[in-house]
Every structure is written in structure tokens, then in C-alpha cells.
Structure 1
Amino acid sequence: MLLGSTGSIGTQAVDIVQRNPDRFRVAGLAAGGGRVDLLAKQAVELGSGLVAVADPAQAPALERALAEQGSRAAVLTGAEGVAELAGAECDVVLNGITGALGLESTLAALRAGRRLALANKESLIIGGPLVREAACPGQIVPVDSEHYALAQCFPRVPEGELASLAQGHLHARRDEVRRLVVTASGGPFRNRRRDELASVTPEDALNHPTWSMGPVITVNSATLVNKGLEVIEAHLLFDIPFDRIDVVVHPQSVVHSMVEYVDGSTIAKASPPSMAIPIAHGIGAPDRVPEAGPGLDFTRAQEWTFQPLDHEAFPAVRLAAEVGAAGGTAPAVYNAANEEAVDAFLKENLAFPAIMDTVSRVVSEHQRSERPPVGPPARLTLDDVYAADTWARVRARELLTGRS
């Protein structure tokens, strides 16, 4: 099953499937509804019998597009329909849905016993305890390039001895791991001071020097929020404490992350900046997919550089570690407030540094309040997560419009 098939991750996954027809078959597709013609075209080309659209208003248009192209695929609608598709019969579910909407589908896939290729980091971050409870060891295959890299840097152990949520490779002896090193490109504003960021525009923020992504994740890369979310994800996937997860700036985006061991050795995973490789591994694990992406040319002179992150200019990573350590609904508040602030920035209603100022204030108010739930309750529920998400969005909008 391919969720988010019309987005960047989804279209790359479709390309990999079409280049390997003897290896993969797509049983079902799901997308938000912004590109129903493409969704219908994918369903026809891939022969998928199930198609889901998250926006119910787009269902009639999708049904017409499918009929015009001769498809008899069944159409499911709404978040419930996408989750139903995620739990349907298949071997692997690739969750490439953007944002918090992916949580129900992540849980549905895990509870149905499917292997989950996880590109929707938000679902793990905001629903951490719920996802960890639902997942069996090794059931999640990370598709984020950094977490795919970390998984590759752990020693291989027999399937029955896996000790983490992430497929493939966390050694049971965590005391051998000194720290995880997550790399960041630094985004379009690398090396700028905080006072130099006040005048940047959405166009500036969307001009990423390395990656081609959607607008929200591109702005998150510019603020380093995306890297903060990845720190939380690394903690949840590999069960390494936050004080042993570092972020370093690596502009070339060739080394995708590293694991440092207590004997002083460091194992790094390197490849060109292409998402095709982790996507292919996500749907094909534990085996590799030949020619999934380009390799590195070590016969050509090149330079890889690393530098510390400027936490004053880019406070998102430290704040993410704080909310990750707080647990409970705090990560959901961080994520939701950020999505609202990024939307305001993209509409030119908010200055770039104020994105994190807004997130920080909403997180601080949440931590001081009794409602929505603060910290890990006895048993976090989906309703708790969605209530916190809603509260954070409302509060962020109030702050953004100047209301108390």
C-alpha cells in the first residue's frame, strides 16, 4: 500500500515500483486529494484495486477520473478510508502522508501486522507511546534518509534478537553506542545569524540548496524544525537518550548520519543526496533494490565538511529535544504550533524568526497548563493527541492574530 502517492515520496516510490515490476505490486493508493487526476492515473498504471482520498469532497472527482481511464478500483474516503486502506491485506505499507494526518494510518498498518515503511515522521513523533505500543520489534523500516542511515550503521543481528522498533539492525547492547550523530544540510540560511533572518521571505526559505521537497518540509528545513523532529524520531526508533543524540551541519548532504561507538570508532552511511535509496529500502527491506539510486564517485576530488549547529539562530533542535523528553502530548503541541506558524509565514503574515518564537510560546503555555494533558499520562490515547493538536493550533492562531 502506498499512502501519499501523489507527493514527493509517493511519486518516487511509484517510479521505483515501475522500474521493478517483477518485484513489486501496488495493491492500493491513497492521497490527500489535491491531485486526483494523477491519483487516478497512478491507479490505472499500477493496476491498484483500492484507492483512498483523504478529502471527502474530492471523492466524486476521483471516481470520475477513474471511470474515464477505465479503472474499476474501489474508492475509500476520509481519514477513516485512508486508515482502512493502510490495514488492508498487503506485505508493506509506505506511509508518505504529510503531517499529523498520518497517525491513524500508521497505527492501522502496525495493528494489522504490516511492515511499515515510515516516511511520515509526524505520526511517530506525536503518537510516540501509541506507536511504540502497537509496533513489534523490527516492524518499522525508517524511510527518512537520516534514520535509514542510522539503521544501516548498527551491526546486523538475527531477526529474533532485534531490540528496537526500526528494522534491521540495532544491537541489543546499547551500552556500546556512545552517541547518534544526525546530519543537517543547514538549509538555505546556513551560517546566518538570528538578526540576519528577520527579513527573509518565503521565496528565500523555499530555495533549498540541496533537496527538492514540498513547501512545509522545505520551510521546516530552513528553521531546522525538521531536524528537531528527526531527533525525536531517532530517540523513539532506537531508544537512545536525547543527551546522546547530536546534530551537526553537513552542507554536502552526502553523509546522512553516523553512529559513534564507545571504543572511539564511528560508522557513517554515505550516498548522494537522493531519497530513492531509502524509499527503495523501505519497500524492499531487508533486501536491497539494485540501481535504486546513484552511487558516489570516489575517483573525483570532493570535500565533505562538518560544523556545529548555531542553536541561537536555530533554536528548533533544542526545543524539540525538550518536548521529546517531556513526552506525552508535548511533541504534538510542538508539531501543530509549527504547522500553523509555517502556514502564516508562507502567506507572508509572519516573520521567519517568529515561527519558532510562536512555537516556543505555545509549548511553554502547554507545559504550564493542566489541559491539554502535560507529560506522559498513565495511558496516552488518540483523543489526547488530537485534543492537544487542536489546542495548539487554536492557541497558535490566537497568537498569530494578536488575540489573547
Structure 2
Amino acid sequence: MKNILILGSTGSVGESTLKVIEENRDSFRLIGMTFHRNSARAIEIIEKYAPDFVYTNIEDSKNAIKDISETSFEILSGSNDLEKLLSIDNVDIVVSAISGFAGLEATILTAKTGKRILLANKESIVVAGDLLMPLAKEHGTQIIPIDSEHNAIHQCLLSCTDSNDISDIVITASGGPFLNYSLDELSSVSVKQALAHPNWSMGSKISIDSATLVNKCLELIEAKYLFNLDGSKFSLIVHPQSIIHSIVTFKDGSSISQMSNPDMRVPIANALSFDRKVPFKFKPLDFSGMRLDFLPFPDDRIFLEEMARTVCSDGGLLGTIFNAANEVAVASFLKEEIKFSDIYSVIERTFDTKSMSNNIDLESIYEMDKETRIQAKKVIESLP
């Protein structure tokens, strides 16, 4: 029996993890969870899975759960309690599924515990890969990605004993709901349209990132750190069906791909117990009726990939700048304060390649994140 702690239990990745746990109650137990403001859903989870520990930093959320009588649990709150939660001996696996930069603190703290991290919070790697990966190695913490693409790479590389044998790694992108739109056409799309991903059911922020293709650029940066490879080893390819999640090509000309229907439970189940296959009810692939298409990354959005590759090659605080500019732009679009196409303008005009430093620490990351958000908001105010 493995005890699971979910950071971000009411989000889309948290929900998918709970589904895997539900179908494998003899193998996994929810021992702890965190949530933010969705107290109604949190109450349902608490009553169904009976965790021992529940963490929230929102006063209204604490008040909403304190009178639950069906099960006994400890309510935790604040930075000290977060560290306490992550250090509980009985926790075997931590699912890091808090969205965005907000998940950095918890991911860094978990890396110090020696527990297995199932990482969905790619932003932690993007902004702090130079800190997080050495920290995890120092403490013997195993990081297994649960993004479908990175988990696919992880699976494809299991048979590879020498990274020098790798020729190329393809990270696939669905292209999102606006694959065939020009940049001019994107100026008039609505929030509702942007949230309607053709293949995946995801949270609002990552849905917008997928629609802009920024998500794929974040994944490129993440992959560089996760697999300790040069960014030039990775290629971005559009694959509208989202069946093949990654392709690894070796120097002998052979390639290995990982395939599954677009279902987050697949990489989560693999990461929860990758030494054996966890059973759950899934939709099998129909190979006889399958069509697989592959397209180059759109020319009119190559500038995004170029920025991501600059982050990979130059490092420093560039990942923090790229991520913060995007988060501010996406939040403004979701509030209908800017047009969809303005997201690109905000990122481009905020991205500053001069803001590099060889002395990266958490303090400098948080400071640069703060400065970049201020600058991005100024850019938004200046938009026509």
C-alpha cells in the first residue's frame, strides 16, 4: 500500500489521480491533500477518501471543512505546516499538481524529503530547474513527470543506458483548438473557444497555454532539465490526434514512441507505480481505424520556440521571465481584459534576455518573478 499526498487535489490532475486511486484502493491510499478555494469539491474528496491531513491557506476554506464529522483529519495551514505535511514519514508519493508559479515552494520543499515526486507542475522546473534538479539528486528524491509528453519520454528512455545514444526526442503538440488559425484570426477568438481543447480536459490556465502553444515551449524547457540533455536534442512537432506523445530516436536509426489515447490517468498510473502496470478502465487504441498526422510547428509561432530555446541555452532567470510574462497575460485574457493574440505581444515585449545571472537562488527567482509581473502589466496597459 502506497500513501499518496496530492498537492492541488481539486484541479484536473488531482482529479485524474483520484480516479486512479479509486480503481486501485488495494494499492493506493490518499493520506493527505491540499486545496485552495474549491471547498465544495474538497469536502466531497475528504468524505470519500478520508485523508489524515488537509492543507489550505485560505481562511474561508478552513472554515468550510472544519465541521466535517464523517471522518477525522488534521487541518494544516501556513508555510510551517506545509513543510510539516511534506515531511510526514507515512507519505510515500507526492503528486505536485498545483498550477503555475504558485507550486514552486511546495515542489522545492518536497525535493528535500527524499520522497517520490509525481510532477505535473512544470513551472517549477521552468523557473528553478537549476536548483530543483540538483536538490532532488542530493536528497535522493525521484522526480517522475506526469505530463503526458514527459512521461512518454521517461518510458521511452527506460531501455537507454547511455544518453549519448540519443539522436533526437520529439515532443508532440496537439496544436490546440486554433491549429489552422492565422495570428490575425486569433485576435477575435473568445475565452470559451480557447478553453475548448479538442482532445484533453484540463484546467483553464493550461488550456490557454495549449491554445497559444506556449505550453509546448514550457515543456521544451522542462524536458531539458528533467532529462539532463541539451535543448537542441528536442524537436517540437504538431500531432493533432494526441495519440503519440513522444518519439525517441537513437543514433542507430531506431525510434521508440509511446502511444495512448489522450487520458491523464495513463501517465499518472505509470508514475504511481512504474515498476508494474496499474490496472484501470481505459479506452483501447483502435489501430485498424487510426489516423496519425504530423505537422511542423507553425511558422508564425516559431518566435515562441526561439524564446524557449534561448531559455534552454542561456538559463539564468530567463525561465522565470518567460513564465511570469505568460501567466500575467493568460490571467488577463481569462478576465477578457486583452485579446487572445495580445498574449504573444505581452510575452515578447516582456521577455528580456539581458536579465541573466550566474547566481540563481530562490530569492532572486521570486524577485524576478515579481519584477516581471509588474513589467508585463505595464505592457498590457500600453496595448492599443
TM-score (ref. length: structure 1): 0.89
Alignment correspondent of 1:311: 299
Alpha-carbon distance in structure 1 between the residues aligned to 2:141 and 2:277? 16
Matched, 1:105 2:94: no
Asked if structure 2 preserves the Cα contact closer than 8 Å seen for 1:76 and 1:82, the reply is yes
Deviation at 1:335, TM superposition (A): 0.8
Deviation at 1:138, TM superposition (A): 7.2
Matched, 1:11 2:12: no
Matched, 1:261 2:243: no
Matched, 1:72 2:77: no
Q: 1:375 aligns with which of 357, 365, 377?
A: 357
User: In the superposition, relative to structure 1, how do residues 283 and 54 fare at CA in structure 2: closer, same or farther (>3 Å)?
Assistant: farther
Alignment correspondent of 1:54: 57
Q: 1:174 aligns with which of 137, 160, 163?
A: 163
After TM superposition, list the pairs within 5 Å mapping 1:217-228 onto structure 2: 217-228=206-217
Deviations 1:274-305 (A, max 9, x none): 1111111222232220236332122x322101
Alignment correspondent of 2:289: 301
Runs of 4+, deviation exceeding 6 Å: none
Asked if structure 1 preserves the Cα contact closer than 8 Å seen for 2:169 and 2:234, the reply is yes
Alignment correspondent of 1:356: 344
Cα RMSD for the two superposed structures: 1.8
User: In the superposition, relative to structure 1, how do residues 37 and 183 fare at CA in structure 2: closer, same or farther (>3 Å)?
Assistant: same
User: In the superposition, relative to structure 1, how do residues 2 and 361 fare at CA in structure 2: closer, same or farther (>3 Å)?
Assistant: same
Matched, 1:279 2:283: no
Deviations 1:46-70 (A, max 9, x none): 221100013344222232xxx2343
Asked if structure 2 preserves the Cα contact closer than 8 Å seen for 1:84 and 1:108, the reply is no
Alignment correspondent of 1:191: 180
Alignment correspondent of 1:31: 35
Matched, 1:338 2:326: yes
Alignment correspondent of 1:86: 86
Q: 2:365 aligns with which of 385, 395, 398?
A: 385
Q: Which runs of 5+ in 2 are unaligned?
A: none
Asked if structure 2 preserves the Cα contact closer than 8 Å seen for 1:180 and 1:258, the reply is yes
Deviation at 1:83, TM superposition (A): 4.2
Task: Name the SS for the 1:285 alignment partner.
Answer: coil
Alignment correspondent of 2:191: 202
Which one-letter code corresponds to 1:385 in the other structure? I
After TM superposition, list the pairs within 5 Å mapping 1:111-150 onto structure 2: 111-136=112-137, 139-150=142-153
Asked if structure 2 preserves the Cα contact closer than 8 Å seen for 1:141 and 1:148, the reply is yes
Alignment correspondent of 1:231: 220
Asked if structure 1 preserves the Cα contact closer than 8 Å seen for 2:321 and 2:369, the reply is yes
Alpha-carbon distance in structure 2 between the residues aligned to 1:47 and 1:195? 51
Which one-letter code corresponds to 1:243 in the other structure? S
Alignment correspondent of 2:381: 401
Alpha-carbon distance in structure 1 between the residues aligned to 2:130 and 2:39? 34
Deviation at 1:314, TM superposition (A): 5.5
User: In the superposition, relative to structure 1, how do residues 294 and 80 fare at CA in structure 2: closer, same or farther (>3 Å)?
Assistant: farther
Q: How many residues are aligned here?
A: 376
Matched, 1:329 2:317: yes
Deviation at 1:16, TM superposition (A): 1.2
Deviation at 1:147, TM superposition (A): 0.5
Alpha-carbon distance in structure 2 between the residues aligned to 1:87 and 1:69? 26
Deviation at 1:218, TM superposition (A): 0.5
Alignment correspondent of 2:308: 320
Alpha-carbon distance in structure 1 between the residues aligned to 2:87 and 2:261? 34
Deviation at 1:202, TM superposition (A): 1.4
Deviations 1:330-351 (A, max 9, x none): 1111111111101111222212
Deviation at 1:216, TM superposition (A): 0.9
Relative contact order, higher structure (CA 8 A, sep 6+):
2
User: In the superposition, relative to structure 1, how do residues 155 and 16 fare at CA in structure 2: closer, same or farther (>3 Å)?
Assistant: closer
User: In the superposition, relative to structure 1, how do residues 294 and 375 fare at CA in structure 2: closer, same or farther (>3 Å)?
Assistant: farther
Alpha-carbon distance in structure 1 between the residues aligned to 2:8 and 2:62? 16
